Every structure is written in structure tokens, then in C-alpha cells.
Structure 1
Amino acid sequence: MSEKTTQKALSLTRKALSGIDEELQLHTEGRGRVSSAQQLSSIRGQLEQVAVQLSSSALPPTPQRLRGIGRVITDSWPYDNPLGSLILEAERLYLKA
């Protein structure tokens, strides 16, 4: 896929990481809005790996890329959650890159 798609996927992944950090801070303060701190930390770890792959010149072939974040979000997060939507879009572009 194009370099533009890869860069957009990386940008969205970084925004998603920032959003997860904000949500984790809310959980620390007892004001978490979605998910659990443990699940958010797990998703964050996967997104960090995605960011590393997108930043490298050796992006794995599509069948070997990380998957599953979207399933967790669609199965357990509210449909109208902006962070969930951002993460889903980042994963979609990562798999397309």
C-alpha cells in the first residue's frame, strides 16, 4: 500500500496511544469512562508494537500483522466511544498499509 496510508496509520496509532494514556489517567483518578486499566494497558502494548512496525521499513506481510484489538473494542466498548473509534480506524489502516 502507499506510504501515505502507512503514515496516516502511524499518526492515528500515536493519537490512539495518547488517548489510551488519558483514559488510563482517568482510571487512576477513579473516573475511567471505558474498559479496565488492565485491558487498556494490554491494548496500549499492542498499539506500541503496531507503531514500531509502521515506523520500520520492514512492515510484516498482512497475514502476520497483529490483530484482535478491534474485536475487543467492538465486543465490549460502547459503540459511540471516540477512543474506540480512533483505535478501530488505526487498526484498519495498519492492516491496509
Structure 2
Amino acid sequence: MSESAVQKALAVSERALSGIDEELARHAAGRGSVSNPGQLAALRAQLLQVVQQLAAPPLPPKDQRLRGIGRVIADSWPYDNPLGGMILEAERLYLDA
């Protein structure tokens, strides 16, 4: 695992967390555009664990890392949603780090 791969995964994951927070705020204002607050909160909690693991190495072995964020996005979000793409990229980078 290279330090630069971990740093890139961490940066993208932190941006994805910010994007989820922004979407949650839009939902609170009645202007949410994707998903629902419950699903977003669950994705946020799992992504927060990813960020914590990336920020405090060593990472768990690849076969023991958190998975499933991408499946939720791919199964129920519009394909062209930028937040969904960012979350998918964060998970990919985390799993590859």
C-alpha cells in the first residue's frame, strides 16, 4: 500500500462525506435531489469509518475492508449523479489502497 494511494483515497472520501452532508442539508430544506435522509445517513456512517481507517493506518487487509457502499449507489441512484460518482470513486480508491 503506497502512502500516496491512501492519501488520495482519504481526500476523495472526505470530499464524498462533504457531499453527503450537503445533500442531507438539501433534504432538510426540502430540496433533496437523490436518495433519502435515512439512506444518506447510513452511507455517511460507513464512509466515516472508511475515512477513519484511512487516516489511522494500518488499513485492514483488503479482504476485511468495508464494502457495500457502491452497491447501494449502483442499485438505486441515477447513473449521472455527481455525488454517486464521487462515493463510488471513494470506495474504489479505499479498496485499492
**For this pair of structures, how many residues does the alignment match?**
97
In structure 2, give the amino acid aligned to 1:84: G
Matches within 5 A, 1:10-25: 10-25=10-25
The residue number in structure 1 matching 2:33 is 33
Shift of 1:64: 0.5
Shift of 1:6: 0.5
Measured in 1, the distance between the counterparts of 2:57 and 2:87 equals: 22
Measured in 1, the distance between the counterparts of 2:18 and 2:53 equals: 18
Matches within 5 A, 1:1-97: 1-97=1-97
SS in 2 for 1:35: coil
Instruction: Structure 2 unaligned segments of length 5 or more: list them.
Output: none
Measured in 1, the distance between the counterparts of 2:5 and 2:40 equals: 25
TM-score between both structures, scaled by the size of structure 1 = 0.98
SS in 2 for 1:70: helix
Identity of aligned residues (%): 66
In structure 2, give the amino acid aligned to 1:93: L
Measured in 1, the distance between the counterparts of 2:65 and 2:30 equals: 34
Measured in 2, the distance between the counterparts of 1:24 and 1:57 equals: 29
Instruction: Structure 1 unaligned segments of length 5 or more: list them.
Output: none
Shift of 1:60: 0.2
Structure 1 runs, 4 residues or longer, greater than 6 Å off: none
Task: Give the aligned CA root-mean-square deviation in angstroms.
Answer: 0.5
Shift of 1:63: 0.6
Post-superposition Cα deviations, 1:30-87, rounded to whole Å, max 9, x if no partner, equal 1100000000000000000000000112210001000000000000000000000000
SS in 1 for 2:35: coil
